[in-house]
Amino acid sequence: MAEVSRRIGYDKVVLGRTFPEITDKIKSNYSKYQKLACEIRRNDLEKEIKSAVFEIEKKGEFVSTKRVAIFLNKSSYEGRRDAAQIVFDSRKLGKSIKKSK
């Protein structure tokens, strides 16, 4: 709503009171957009980490969040819970695949 109010030159409170249905629709659409963008970023992160886990396992090294962060040259991945969870799940998946062979 801030962007809409800036573009048309009216205060967002005035717009919200004058056009409550439109305001609600804009907020709803923006919320859906934010969720979709978050999901896309999460999927990209998961693909990147899974490919790194695969490459590290291929070298025969133990896979850890720290090694994945170093491999990808992204030190910020070390402290991220979501990255650690993906590494953990990928390791567990890799072990189950090796056992089934």
Q: How many CB atoms lie within 10 A of CB 2?
A: 7
b/e for 50-89, b at 16 or more Cβ within 10 A?
bebbeebbeeeeebbbebbbebbebeebeebeebbebbee
Domain count, the chain: 1
Amino acid identity, position 29:
N
Instruction: List the domain range (segments joined by +) for residue 79.
Output: 2-100
Is this structure's pTM higher than 0.75? no
pLDDT at residue 14 tops 60: yes
Across the range 11-16, mean pLDDT stands at 88
pLDDT at residue 21 tops 90: yes
Looking up tokens 């629709």 gives: 25
Contacts of 26 (CB under 8 A, 6+ apart): 1, 4
